A and B are shown apart, each in its own frame.
Chain A
């Protein structure tokens, strides 16, 4: 059975695409045949993060419109054997995504034996975002520790439980996961940001992980390599934990505590 996982948030710029790329790569690294679809028609970002922008010939909308076959549009990932990217079109208007079209593509991916389909949602609560979550079995709600992001996530959770197919058909609800991104334990400690406990208390969704704020995300995106591949970095480890928890493994939370610099360090500086 194919599981469809949407990476969503409501608010823009919180790390959905970064997460989609890392999470899909992580599933593939664990041996699952995975497709990651860019639903952000008009912006097209995922192919840059995945480093396959030069190989885009056909896109999601071409497939929906019957102008290309799915396997012509799927781009094989350069790092993982069993990972494929379905890029968004940069030029089409947002109405190009129809519910029937998206359903057709997902059915076909199922037919091709994919274990997971990861949907990178655009920001907002409009058509594109609704299309991305319509067929979801599970949702990773990506949230930064800010009030505005939490509020938008709450709203998208409501939409998830009212507009998804599972909701419309009265089936078991979409399984929700909360992912905190761009988390800075130092700023939390200084009271500038909500803590992950605050966010969880507000949203009441099980926490699947906390991704620290880190420059390595920028490096990863400049290289066109999903951050999970940057071995030894906090972000790579944190995303690896997320994938493990998603697959049902127990992993303690990491990268959430701020170690205040000791007295010696504060007196004499140093790294």
Chain B
């Protein structure tokens, strides 16, 4: 038995959160692949690695399971980078998390097209990137020597459509970043110059990571999976000025605090 294929298995929308939203009406990877191929056949570069939110709000009948690995590799082939899901039937949420996707609450996070109420701050936890494999029992080992953390330094501006990932350490941007760019660090992000796109620090769950910028103006910031968007604009006391972002603002461990930073 196979379900009928919807007329438009996948459709793209712009979301105000700075990610592209792919509305999926079909979850069988090969059928989604056909639809994407038809849509983008001549332009495999069309998306250029954009962060993508998979939206299941218009799914006809919920499937018993979803081949997440198939879906992820398919989207990657079309240069899209799924970061999370929303409006997913709750029974599928665990498998999505295991596939490394953030499960966002559809009610909280709406794009403009759907006409929902504007929301200026969204807090969501994201599970670490990789599903954790069962750990072998560690052998007795000498006291751990802290590994030198690798700092990644980027001299040129990070432009729209570009993505930088500092694995295992801090990221230092010496020429700022543009709207539509995305920077990710397992540690903190230090940005000299405009911080304008999406900045995700503590990507593996380090809640002590911070985002520091001399010219604050991002589309979205996140620390250890807790996000904040700025649909209502950035508060005047920090817009375009030095600021830091850290987890635990207002003494709430699940909220981001953003404060002006006094330089000199």
Does A126 lie within 8 Å of B45, measured CB to CB?
A: yes
Q: In the complex, what residue of chain B is closest to A202 when comparing beta carbons?
A: B178
B151 at the interface (CB under 8 A from A): no
CB distance from A218 to the nearest CB of B (A): 31
How far apart sit A202 and B159, CA to CA, in the bound complex (Å)? Answer: 11
How far apart sit A161 and B157, CA to CA, in the bound complex (Å)? Answer: 10
Q: A126-B43, A158-B162, A162-B162 are in contact. Are A151 and B180 (CB under 8 A)?
A: yes
Does A158 lie within 8 Å of B45, measured CB to CB?
A: no
Residues of A within 8 A of B48 (CB): 125, 155
Which residues 159-193 in B have Cβ within 8 Å of A in the complex? Answer: 159-162, 175-176, 178-181, 193
How far apart sit A162 and B181, CA to CA, in the bound complex (Å)? Answer: 14
Q: Which single member of B45, B156, B162 contacts A173 (CB below 8 Å)?
A: B156
Q: In the complex, what residue of chain B is closest to A10 when comparing beta carbons?
A: B160
Q: Which single member of B45, B175, B178, B193 contacts A125 (CB below 8 Å)?
A: B45
Number of interface residues of A (CB under 8 A): 17
Residues of A within 8 A of B46 (CB): 125-126
Interface string of B138-172 (1 = CB under 8 A from A): 00000000000000000011111110000000000
Does A151 lie within 8 Å of B45, measured CB to CB?
A: no
Does A157 lie within 8 Å of B43, measured CB to CB?
A: no
How far apart sit A211 and B194, CA to CA, in the bound complex (Å)? Answer: 27
Which residues 101-136 in A have Cβ within 8 Å of B in the complex? Answer: 124-127, 130
Does B159 lie within 8 Å of A154, measured CB to CB?
A: yes
Q: In the complex, what residue of chain B is closest to A160 when comparing beta carbons?
A: B159
Q: Which single member of A154, A162, A173, A204 contacts B179 (CB below 8 Å)?
A: A154
Closest 4 CB pairs of A and B: A158-B159, A154-B160, A155-B160, A158-B162
Q: B-side interface residues toward A, CB under 8 Å?
A: 42-43, 45-46, 48, 156-162, 175-176, 178-181, 193-194
Q: A-side interface residues toward B, CB under 8 Å?
A: 124-127, 130, 151, 154-155, 157-159, 161-162, 173, 202-204
